[in-house]
Amino acid sequence: MDTHIPVDRQVMVGFLRFYMEADGTMSKTGNILHGDSARTNYKIWSVLGNRKKGKTNGRIRSNQEGALPLRPRQFLCNDNVNTLHSINNNDDSEDSFHRAISPILWWAQIFGLLPLSGISANLPSSLKFKKISFRTVYAVIVASSISAMAVLSIIHMIRTLNADSFGVRGGVAEATAGAIFYGNGLCGTIMYLWLSPRWVILQNDWKAMERFIDRQNKNKKRDDIMSFENRFSGIKFLKRTDKRPVCMLTTSKNHMCTIIQGKICKECYKSLYKKEGRDHATKKTERVMTNKYQRPRLRWKFIIISSVILLFALFEHALSVANNSTKFEWGTPNSTFANFLQVYTTKSHNFILESVDYSFAIGIYIFIVSKIATFVWNFTDLFVMLISTGLAERYKTLNKRLFVTAKKNANTIDWCEFRNDYAILSSLVKKVDNDISPIILLSFANNLYFICLQLLNGLSGPEAGDILSNLYFFSSFAFLILRTCAVTLLTARINDQSKTVLPLLYSCSSSTYNIETQRLQYQLTTDDISLTGLRFFSITRNFMLALAGAIVTYEVVLLQFNVAINK
């Protein structure tokens, strides 16, 4: 009966050190044992499992002559192997930007924004913009409806500013609030209509970027799968091997490394197998390999961001409706929807009723258009947040892959590949900025105005109100501040993530520093990667301080002007 003679750990470590010194390399043990290169692992494991030739190396003697190592599919359970080979790298992944943002764009189309067909398709190639279609006609009708409200608001603003005295509380700010609000809604609908044909091209460019970068990850995954299969094929073969080679010293360096690596992998897997079982051991190994090159999880991030922003916006608008309908008597014979609509419209849109007489149809029109304009205001900020998150997460994933590769073995970094990835991502950021920079400018200009308006109303001696009025004022102001900060910080992440790997490049050793490393360092250092507001300003973390300073300056000017007018 044959007996199994295990290789002593000290012997294995000693031979491994001998192999490393003889080879002239100073790489760490983990780099040899867990290298992610398919070519390297295939070279190492060819001695143990050469399936094509159907035979094993003669230097290694086994108690089962002619017994071939079992294929990985026989060694691993079938379910786990099928899962291993179904690593999701398809073009229609749910975490692609097009599919992740499609539910939010579907809601936007209900309010007449981005009239495109194919929003819910798996690939952006299905996106189409037609000048004559139901969506486009509906978007034009929405824009025309908001434009009518904007014109009436501007008429009220001109009348108020030309009057001898301001008859409304708040002076200039209150006189211009309606014009700015509906002007923002009109500009927003026009900009999204202008963006629609460009969005089709932009999404296809975005998909090309995802395919280019994910293709690199796919190649890495394929290398890891080959290493994984070959490694466990060798482990199974060594499990059938009962004797060491006759003379270890006469074995080549590759053979020694093969035996040592196989024994160590066998022991590691055996401990994991005993602790968690075969299925869990295999799944854990697969999970580590899959997560290493996983694309950004945009879908759930977009759902969370959209849910938070829209739910807070809904709560704030509900408080606004309640605050503007306090005179409505509930539970009385007159508590009908028509009466509620008249009370709400008269208080919230009194400046519109100065030019037109109230009727039920006018009330319905004002009620619907005001809700659309409110959604456009909130969606503009949300739209900028989602696009910025999609770009920043791509940079974050690319940075993570570079850091993992550098930590594993800096000598194996393909700097040319990473430079190409950063270059195509930088090019996409510039294309995105060319298309949405007017929307970014509109978002920050509108938020800046309404922050100043709310501060002016709060600092110019507000009238004593009930609890509901105070709750609405502070809730609306807090939500406006938080939303502006969220837009700024999420957009500034693009610039932050684009500079994250610079410390790694600065600390690169002379042995790994080459012309491609220098080009990547120069590219990231000199290229200003950020979104802008029509090139007037770049959104970085420093921009938040500049925005706060502008708010304080404008607020002081408005307070002085308002006091001078009221004298």
For residues 463-501, one letter each, b for 16 or more C-beta atoms within 10 angstroms of the residue's C-beta and e for the rest, the string is eeeeeebeebbeebbebbeebbebbbebbbbbbbbbebb
| pLDDT tens track for 342-364 | 999 998 898 898 889 899 999 99
Q: Residue 95 — very low, low, confident or very high, per pLDDT cuts 50/70/90?
A: confident
| Least confident stretch, 173-187, 207-221, 273-287, 538-552 | 273-287
Higher pLDDT, 46 or 323: 323
Distance of CA 503 to the CA centre of its chain: 23
| pLDDT tens track for 399-457 | 999 998 888 777 778 888 899 999 999 999 999 999 999 999 999 999 999 998 888 87
Task: Label each residue of 323-347 as H, E or C.
Answer: HCCCCCCCCCCCCCHHHHHHHHHHH
| Least confident stretch, 22-31, 316-325, 454-463, 511-520 | 22-31
Q: Residue 90 — very low, low, confident or very high, per pLDDT cuts 50/70/90?
A: very low
Q: What is the mean pLDDT of residues 210-226?
A: 63
pLDDT on residue 263: 47
pLDDT on residue 55: 41
Structural contact between residues 372 and 111, judged by C-beta atoms closer than 8 angstroms: yes
On the question of pLDDT at 130 being above 80, the answer is: yes
Q: Say what angle helices 97-110 and 172-240 make with each other, to 10 degrees.
A: 150
Q: Residue 460 — very low, low, confident or very high, per pLDDT cuts 50/70/90?
A: low
How far apart CA 8 and CA 152 sit, in angstroms, is: 89
Structural contact between residues 146 and 352, judged by C-beta atoms closer than 8 angstroms: no
Q: What percentage of the chain reaches a pLDDT higher than 90?
A: 43
pTM of the model: 0.73
Helix (H, G, I), strand (E, B) or coil at 50: strand
| pLDDT tens track for 485-497 | 999 999 999 999 9
Please write down the long-range contacts of 270-278, taking CB distance under 8 Å and 24 or more positions apart.
Answer: 278/76, 278/77
Q: Residue 165 — very low, low, confident or very high, per pLDDT cuts 50/70/90?
A: low
